[in-house]
Amino acid sequence: MRMEIRGVEKLSFRERQVVALKEMGKSAEQIAKQLGLSPSTVATLYNRARSKGYEVVIIIPGEALGIMEPDDEEA
């Protein structure tokens, strides 16, 4: 499973950091501590990123869901 943020090119570097951490389930306080920012700055960056529009997509391989078999690798 992997996370992909579509529309990331619209976001600043800091907005990307905040969005990625927020989408991984971190709180504003945790993000602020990790990035050395205040929680209000984190909230501002997150709201700014949301207004620019982005989409988080979770990609789960079919094998993990039991609906596809892995490709046979031939030497």
Tens-place pLDDT, residues 14-49 = 999 999 999 889 999 999 999 999 999 999 999 999
Q: What is the mean pLDDT of the chain?
A: 87
Q: Which residues are 58's β-sheet partners?
A: 3
- Report whether CATH 1.10.10 matches the domain 2-65: yes
Q: Domain segments of the chain: what residues?
A: 2-65
- Please compute the mean of the pLDDT values over residues 51-57 and round it to a whole number: 89
As a whole number of angstroms, the distance between CA 58 and CA 42 comes to 23
Report residue 26: phi and psi, to 5°.
Answer: -75, 145
pLDDT at residue number 39: 97
Q: What pTM does this model have?
A: 0.72
